[in-house]
Homo-oligomer: A and B are copies of this chain.
Amino acid sequence: MKAKLTMLTWCLAAAGIAQQKVPFRNNIPVAPQGLAGHKLPKLPVEYDTAEGQRIRVVAVTREVEYPWSLVFLPDGSMLLTERAGRLRIIRKGELDPKPIAGAPASFNAGESGLPGAVHGYMDIALHPRFAENGLLYLTYNKAIDEKRRAVALVRAHWDGHALTDVRDIFVLPEGGTSRIAFGRDGMLYMSTTGNNPQDPNTLGGKVLRLRDDGTVPPDNPFAGQAWHRPEVYTLGHRSALALAMHPGTGEMWENENGPNGGDEINILKPGLNYGWPIVSYGRTYPGPWQSDRPRHEGFEPPIVYWVPSIAVSGMAFYTGDKLPKWKGDVFVGSLRTGEIPGTGHLERILFNERMEELRRESLLTDLRQRIRDVRQGPDGLLYLLTDEKEGAVLRIEPAQ
């Protein structure tokens, strides 16, 4: 999986001042490693934050490896995925040392955050009537044959200890990254990556809308249209790494990674085109702008964007009472900032009542962890997953 190394170093005399030599690999500047590999310090730690909310960061567990996604069961237990293809459970604050039995076999390769990485297990979601039917959903990459991978959406029954009735209910034609979330309409939204995000007749770079059994609902925006895949809900996405339903409006929010600049939060509306790769706020990795227009008629603009990129992943609307200064705010994980490893953190975004941004705060910056996911717990606290080999589930509590 290792990309061929072409140390195309430049002696940048063109501009008339000597510059450091920047190594490139496959036309992408090699990421500098001076801040990478920062270990999570001893916890808890406390921080002051902008709104006067002093917080404490606690480790729920430090015994997970590249955790990817998290859900809370009705009894307060947490089910979480590990990228290597394991489903884990934390009961009463204790991580069960054994992975959940019955989970499907996945394909995992490369290093998280590097080109060529394939994530084994990714997102997890509970059926809206999970308390009655015990159904849960996972997205994962599986090997089709020696060379080909595919993202699959699996549905399974949770019996309290293991997965049963495990069945792939939707399989994409290629590997990639995928998030899932149920909407207020009871439908399952599923983000995809891949080729041709502008082509409505393919499944890459889209958000799909599916029934809870993986079939296509007849009221999808392109259902019945020739040369349109009926599963498509929205198109023109680059690399979606969060889907979260706004608890007030019921709209589905999505975030996605731009290239070198141009990460976005979008509000998804049926049949709309979010522009990638035609419109973008970012640059390509070698330097030139991705497009000459960050916005254009016919393409839905983001409601929030980042320049430089912070490599967004995960998103939660905070509706709890335990951190009252943050009530109504949006939290987004950051895997790194400005293309520099070792600069992940948590972003907080404050909106007005029309969903227009008022300000933005970077939190937990000195922990320098890749934050893969952020969720609100039933206890009204915030939970984070660190996308690290020595990964952790962190909890943010009020410190006063």
Give A residues with C-beta under 8 Å from B. Answer: 10, 12-20, 22, 29, 32-35, 48-53, 246-249, 260-261, 281, 283, 285-288, 292-295, 305-308, 317, 319, 324-329, 337-340, 342-343, 350-362, 365-366
Q: Chain copies in the assembly?
A: 2
* Minimum Cβ distance to chain B for residue A21 (Å): 10
**A337-B353 in contact (CB<8A):** no
Q: A50-B340, A308-B359, A340-B50 are in contact. Are A353 and B12 (CB under 8 A)?
A: yes
List of 9 A-B pairs having minimum Cβ-Cβ separation, nearest first: A16-B248, A19-B328, A287-B356, A338-B360, A17-B248, A34-B52, A12-B353, A339-B359, A14-B353
**Chain B residues within 8 Å of A295, by CB:** 292-294
**Chain B residues within 8 Å of A324, by CB:** 20
**Chain B residues within 8 Å of A343, by CB:** 50, 361-362
Residue of A16, A50, A288, A362 with highest tally of chain B CB at under 10 A: A50
For residue A304, which residue of chain B has the nearest CB?
A: B307
For residue A285, which residue of chain B has the nearest CB?
A: B358
**Chain B residues within 8 Å of A13, by CB:** 353
**Chain B residues within 8 Å of A34, by CB:** 48-53
**Chain B residues within 8 Å of A319, by CB:** 17-18
**B249-A15 in contact (CB<8A):** yes
**B15-A357 in contact (CB<8A):** no
**Could you tell me the distance between the alpha carbons of A163 and B32 in the complex, rounded to whole angstroms?**
47
A32 partner, pick from B52, B261, B354, beta carbons under 8 A:
B52
**Chain B residues within 8 Å of A294, by CB:** 281, 294-295
Q: A307-B306, A350-B22 are in contact. Are A356 and B16 (CB under 8 A)?
A: no
* Minimum Cβ distance to chain B for residue A376 (Å): 12
**B328-A340 in contact (CB<8A):** no
- Show 21 A/B contacts (Cβ-Cβ < 8 Å), sorted by A: A10-B353, A14-B353, A15-B246, A15-B249, A16-B247, A17-B328, A33-B52, A34-B52, A35-B48, A35-B49, A260-B359, A286-B352, A286-B356, A286-B358, A287-B352, A294-B295, A308-B360, A337-B362, A338-B361, A343-B361, A343-B362
